[in-house]
Amino acid sequence: MDLTLVSTAIIAFGIAMYIILDGFDLGIGILFLWAANERERDIMMNSVAPVWDGNETWLVLGGSVLFGAFPVAYGLIMPAIYLPMIVFLFALIFRGVAFEFRFKSRNRTWWNLSFSAGSTLATFAQGLILGSFIQGYPIAGKQYAGGAFEWLTPFSVMAGVALVAGYALLGATWLILKTEGPLQEWCYRAARGLMLVVLLFIGLVSVWTPLRYPEIAARWFGWPNILYLSPVPIVTALVAFLLWQALRNRSVRAPFPLSIGLFMLSYLGLGVSLWPYIVPRVLTIRQAAAPVETQGFLLIGVALFLPLVLIYTVFTYWVFRGKVSHTEGYH
């Protein structure tokens, strides 16, 4: 069995879970200040309060599997993205503590801001990191050799803004599922606007990336790849159309899975573009992979525990299924 491939698949799966779960979670934070009143904000927060730290745990899983299975890549990427990473972590702190502090506070203004600005900034920083990752990093030996601001480019800023719109779309469609009345109606309208912005950015990235990186253009448009890969944009267009219809018809259940679909297709596109690199154009997954005794041990743990994790994650969501009310706290 090719352990490196399995490890890569696990990281890819962990990141996908993170994008979906913490995506809508952060998205609710992005939309938070724009809600009509405090009562609606209570509902928005209650819709994720029981599950938010489980959602964020997928991030830690991604980080630790990267450290365990590809230590060289972990040690190379982290210093390269030092400042946006620190901003990301601070932003996560501000939004995370707001879950506890806001409900206990008499004056909620500051914790509303902490939650909303924290979520938005965390998403933006995550997008910056993603953008800079696609660009690649200068290295010497197996260590990062660039400056403190290598990550800051128009492309990475664009990726940051795009991700804010994307997570807000996930958040809005999650809220369609979990709320009713005026708040739900507001989410329908927000989701339609956000979807257009997201499509605009998907288009922009699809043009910008191949123009800038000829090897990515060759990957997509070379023969016979274009044959296998052409379904990706076609299915994306189809999902976008279905999502638009679902939002117009005020469907409750369809918008959330469809916006997840939109995300997963973009993610797939990214994977196709970057394969087989774990640090683009510098380090392939095989060059960065930990030795077999480390990967084997890691994969035993994943095989034993990840199914369990998935089972009780599903169970937790099932326990907290249905519409949320604004009084559902324990405070």
Q: In this chain, which stretch among 98-106, 161-169, 171-179, 203-211 interacts with other proteins, using CB under 8 A? A: 98-106
Pick the closer one to other proteins by CB: 60 or 226: 60
The verdict on 148 binding other proteins (CB under 8 A) reads yes
For other proteins, the closer of residues 32 and 220 by Cβ is 32
- Look at residue 284 and give its three-state secondary structure: strand
Within the chain, residue ranges assigned H as helices are 3-31, 38-46, 52-69, 71-80, 82-104, 109-135, 154-178, 181-212, 214-221, 225-229, 231-248, 255-274, 285-288, 292-319
Residue 331 found at the interface with other proteins (CB under 8 A): yes
Site for other proteins contains 165 (CB under 8 A) = no
Q: Is 104 in the site for other proteins (CB under 8 A)?
A: yes
d(CA 228, CA 165) in angstroms, rounded, equals 29
Cα–Cα distance measured from residue 77 to residue 66, given in angstroms and rounded to the nearest whole number: 10
Q: Which is nearer to other proteins, 64 or 245 (CB)?
A: 64
- 328 contacts other proteins (rule: CB under 8 A): yes
Considering only the stretches 71-79, 155-163, 218-226, 229-237, report the one whose residues sit in contact with other proteins under the rule CB under 8 A: 71-79
CB 28, min distance to other proteins, A: 16
Nearest-angstrom CA–CA distance, 125 and 156: 9
> Is 128 a binder of other proteins (CB under 8 A)?
no
SS3 of 89, please?
A: helix
Please tell me the number of Cα atoms within 13 Å of 127 on its side-chain side.
Answer: 25
* CB nearer other proteins, residue 206 or residue 287: 287
Q: Does 298 bind other proteins (CB under 8 A)?
A: yes
